[in-house]
Amino acid sequence: MAQNLGMSSLMVAATVTVHFFGLLTLLYLLRRHGVRFRANESVLGQGALIMTVIFGLFAIHTVEIWLYALAYLLLGAAVDFETALYFSTVTFASLGYGDIVLSRDWRLFGAIEAANGVILFAWSTAFLLSVMARLKTLEHDWLER
């Protein structure tokens, strides 16, 4: 159990760090290039900005999922990378299909990945909503026209 908690703590620290710096990078890009997409700009411009944020968030989550997949592979908890990646994706998103399960030795590690994924998805959701609120987004533009 100590090994599970130790590895889980390392992975939570790694993925939170990836997420933090990923969001900082997105924020930098928004500040640098987002000037073109103010609330008084076109609906398409605002939509492009929101889509950029969504794709950026997807990329951040992809890196985090791949980190867990690599951990499963290195720990011997998965037989190959495709299985590790599939399991990590399902677990991180808290889907939990159950078609692939970890051995008793690593199931706590998988459960902590699920909890970590929920928190990181919530953080991403808060970031996206903050961006949309800052834009005074699409609905206001449509109502005024």
Summary mean pLDDT of the chain: 86
Determine what percent of the chain is predicted with pLDDT higher than 70: 88
- Looking at residue 56, its pLDDT comes to 97
pLDDT beyond 60 at 138:
no
Within 13 Å of residue 20, how many CA atoms lie on the same side as its CB? 6
Q: What is the pLDDT of residue 144?
A: 60
For residue 132, name the pLDDT band (cuts at 50, 70, 90). Answer: confident
Count how many domains the chain has. Answer: 1
Q: Is-above-0.75 flag for pTM?
A: yes
Place of tokens 């970590």: 116
pLDDT single digits (tens) 5-45: 899 999 999 999 999 999 999 999 888 876 555 545 677 77
* Phi and psi, residue 88, nearest 5°: -65, -40
Looking at beta carbons, which pairs linking 62-67 to residues 24 or more positions away fall under 8 Å? Answer: 63/18, 63/22, 64/15, 64/18, 64/19, 64/92, 64/117, 64/120, 65/89, 65/92, 67/11, 67/14, 67/15, 67/18
- How many Å apart are CA 79 and CA 89, to the nearest integer? 16
| Amino acid occupying residue 83 | T
- On whether the CB atoms of residues 46 and 37 are closer than 8 A, the answer is yes
- Which of the two residues, 54 and 131, has the higher pLDDT score? 54
Domain that holds residue 82: 2-144
* pLDDT surpassing 70 at residue 127: yes
**pLDDT band at residue 97 using 50, 70 and 90 as cut-offs:** confident
pLDDT at 41: 63
Q: What pLDDT is attached to residue 95?
A: 84
Q: What is the pLDDT of residue 71?
A: 95
Residue 4 clears pLDDT 80, i.e. is over it: no
